[in-house]
Amino acid sequence: MNKVLANEPVSAAFEALKSVPGIAALAVDDTLHIRDVTRDGCDLLGDGPAELIGRPVTAILAEDGRHGAERLKSALAAAKSSQRSELKLTVLGRDGTTRLLDVTVGTAEDGGSGHAVLVLRDATDYQHSIAQLKQVVEGSIQGIIVHSGGPPLFANDALIQMVGIASREELFARPSVASFIHPDDRERVAGNIAARLRGRNAPLAYDFRLLSDDGRTVWVECRATVVTWDGEPAVLASLYDITDRKVAEDARQKSEALFTKVFQASPEIITITRRRDGRYIDINGGFTQTLGYERSEVLGRTAADLDVWVEPGFRDEMVEELAAKGSFRGRETCIRRKDGGIIDVQFSADTFRYGDEDVLLIVGHDTTARKRSEKELRDSKTAAEMANRAKGEFLANMSHELRTPLNAIIGFAEVLQQEMFGPLGSDKYAEYAADIHSSGEHLLDIINDILDLSKLESGRYELHETEFTVDDLAKTCVRFIRERAREAGLAVRMELPDSILCMSADRRLMKQILLNLLSNAVKFTPNGGTITVGARLNDDGECELFVTDTGVGMNEEGIETALTPFGQVASALSRDHQGTGLGIPLARSLVERHGGSFDIASTPGDGTTVTVTVPADRVVIDRNLFSGNHESDAAD
């Protein structure tokens, strides 16, 4: 420590400086040793005059001594020529803490003794503020960039992420900020940048697209101003990512466009009215076409002004229901057209917010034509029911009127056949009597079938249900047609289950069903064929009665014809047999009357199988009894 230097004043000027409070200063000679120090300088550096005076300045610097010395020497040289120079130095205190100092370097001449004066200002807080500001800028979710139209001068992390660039160095290597602006927006953005740098008017905020390196398009809202950067004007821009908002706006615009298109193109009556006073805000083409008004006649007015509602209180009821439920569907009322005509309309309505008020969206469907059709259908149904009733009554009366003389004809024919009152005298008379008897019975069968079918169609056919066995039913029917089958050269077989199957049904009708099917099988099976009648239980517990033949068969069109009343399938065999075409339709109706189903499976040349399915709730199984007739030949 140089005690002489400590006691010798540097200069009168520095002595005067030491007496000014608030000035932290050092007097330094050409060798960069401290010659003197003010009291505030001691406080700033954390040492007393004895510890500081005589020490080189480089000894108290936190940075490399050589580098600090060179900077100080450069500053001293600059100060000698311009009387003033500035630099920043970081000093190290005895407690190990560092301080950033702003140093102003000047020279003073006093009595031939030259020295440099270093005025010190604590810049630690300023540096801390700068660090905090940098942290804020880097931590911001908005992209911040400084540029002058060319390469970026500064950019934060958010901006780097927006443009999808890997590093800050790669961003700064770009020749122009235009490289990451969408091509469709570059000209507009470049124009705003140029205007702003020239001091001309430019938008303070506007939207454009960034084109990210990873292929994304990022919509940003740009807020820009001009700052001074290294002595030159530059643009400071803050970029907010508004991609989600733009997507939402685009979706909303598309939705509105779609709604407008549907609104105007819909044939329905659609209106938007203010909830508070009912004035029309908008109407569609369906309204003008259906009610006959022009738009200018409707907008701004109310339904009451136009006298639209036939029921005056309908709108008030509708508003009350909407207030309670928010919407309603399928309300029917009548509305009045411009020409005074009344139409039926079915309405649905919803409440929603439009701008700053509640509005009603009402959709109406013109049901006038539908209601007219419904009335016509009801009238037609009533007329058909009346006609059907009249037909039934006519058939009942006709059957009664025809049966009486037919029974007499059949009876007299039997008397003649049996020659009860003596010989007829000629074989021809006996032949004619047989023909009369046969024709009368055939005509009586036709009348009975027609009457039965009529009763079934009208739903007036009553079932007289009893319980009977299926094999007894089958055997009885086979006995009836056995002789006809023998004469036609046909074999008749039965396939019945081992268990005794009983069913609860109208036995006479079930017998009629099976006889009709067997008669048809005999009729349409050529000589040498086989007819099989049987029964089985299906997986659902239903009883299936079936009649299978090896006859001529039918195609799909033939099956449809056979199921039609009075329909007859044309074939070479059908011309040799009489028939009305009522057997199959009557059998199906009788089956359905029992709650069952009727099915025909047939192939031309391969025969036909007709299956009658009796519901499970009509079937009883007794497995303890054995029918003893699982399969038998019934033609013998």
| Ordered DSSP codes for 324-340 | HHSEEEEEEEEEE-TTS
Q: What pLDDT score does 535 carry?
A: 92
> What is the rounded average pLDDT of the residues 382-400?
73
Q: Band of the pLDDT at 90, cuts 50, 70, 90?
A: confident
Select the more confidently predicted residue: 32 or 132: 32
Same domain, 196 and 306: no
* Least confident residue range of 129-138, 238-247, 556-565: 129-138
- pLDDT (tens digit per residue) in 404-425: 787 788 787 788 878 788 887 7
Total Cβ atoms within 10 A of residue 478? 21
Q: How far apart are CA 398 and CA 447, in angstroms?
A: 9
Same domain, 574 and 592: yes
Between β-strands 217-229 and 205-211, what pairing exists: parallel, antiparallel or unpaired? antiparallel
Same domain, 453 and 472: no
> What are the φ/ψ torsions at residue 171 (nearest 5 degrees)?
-65, -45
Q: What pLDDT score does 374 carry?
A: 86
Same domain, 509 and 623: yes
* Least confident residue range of 110-114, 211-215, 539-543: 110-114
> Phi/psi zone of residue 215: left (φ > 0), alpha (ψ -120 to 50 degrees), beta?
left
Looking at this protein, which amino acid is placed at residue 274?
R
* Least confident residue range of 118-132, 248-262, 615-629: 615-629
Bridge partners of 351? 360
Q: In this model, does residue 632 exceed pLDDT 50?
A: no
Q: What pLDDT score does 584 carry?
A: 82
Q: How far apart are CA 1 and CA 35, in angstroms?
A: 11
Tell me, what DSSP letter sits at residue 461? P
CA dihedral 468, 473, 479, 480 (to 10 degrees): 100
> What is the rounded average pLDDT of the residues 86-98?
78
Q: What pLDDT score does 610 carry?
A: 93
Q: What pLDDT score does 11 carry?
A: 75
Q: What pLDDT score does 489 carry?
A: 92
Contacts of 220 (CB under 8 A, 6+ apart): 143, 162, 207, 208, 209, 210, 239, 240, 241, 242
**How many domains would you assign to the chain?**
5
What is the DSSP annotation of 545-570?
EEEEE-S----HHHHHHHTSTT----
Which run of H or E residues covers position 598? strand 597-603
Q: In this model, does residue 367 exceed pLDDT 80?
A: yes
Would you state the structure tokens that stand for residue 79, as one six-digit string? 């100060």
14: domain range?
A: 3-123
Same domain, 394 and 313: no
Would you state the structure tokens that stand for residue 439, as one six-digit string? 């024709």
Measured at the CA of 397, the angle between CA 392 and CA 400, to 5 degrees, comes to 125
Write the CA distances from 445 to 148, 458, 516, integer angstroms. Answer: 111, 20, 12
Same domain, 470 and 425: no
Chain-centroid distance of CA 486 in Å reads 69
Q: Is residue 372 part of a domain?
A: no
Q: Band of the pLDDT at 368, cuts 50, 70, 90?
A: confident
Would you state the structure tokens that stand for residue 429, as one six-digit string? 């008379």
Q: What pLDDT score does 628 carry?
A: 44
Measured at the CA of 183, the angle between CA 178 and CA 187, to 5 degrees, comes to 65
The model carries a pTM of 0.39
Same domain, 473 and 595: yes
Tell me, what DSSP letter sits at residue 302? B
Chain-centroid distance of CA 496 in Å reads 56
Find the CATH number of the domain harbouring 156: 3.30.450.20
Same domain, 80 and 148: no
The answer to whether 242 and 222 have CB atoms below 8 angstroms apart is no
Same domain, 334 and 418: no
Same domain, 328 and 395: no
End-to-end CA distance of the chain: 152
> What are the φ/ψ torsions at residue 340 (nearest 5 degrees)?
95, -10
- pLDDT (tens digit per residue) in 482-514: 888 998 899 999 998 877 789 999 888 888 889
Find the CATH number of the domain harbouring 586: 3.30.565.10
Same domain, 617 and 486: yes
Q: How far apart are CA 634 and CA 497, in angstroms?
A: 16
Q: Indicate the average pLDDT of the chain.
A: 81
> What is the rounded average pLDDT of the residues 327-336?
86
What angle, 0 to 180 degrees and rounded to 10, lies between the N-to-C axes of helices 507-523 and 583-593?
A: 150
Same domain, 14 and 110: yes
> What is the rounded average pLDDT of the residues 210-236?
88
Tell me, what DSSP letter sits at residue 309? B
> What are the φ/ψ torsions at residue 219 (nearest 5 degrees)?
-80, 130
Q: What pLDDT score does 612 carry?
A: 92
Q: Is residue 337 part of a domain?
A: yes
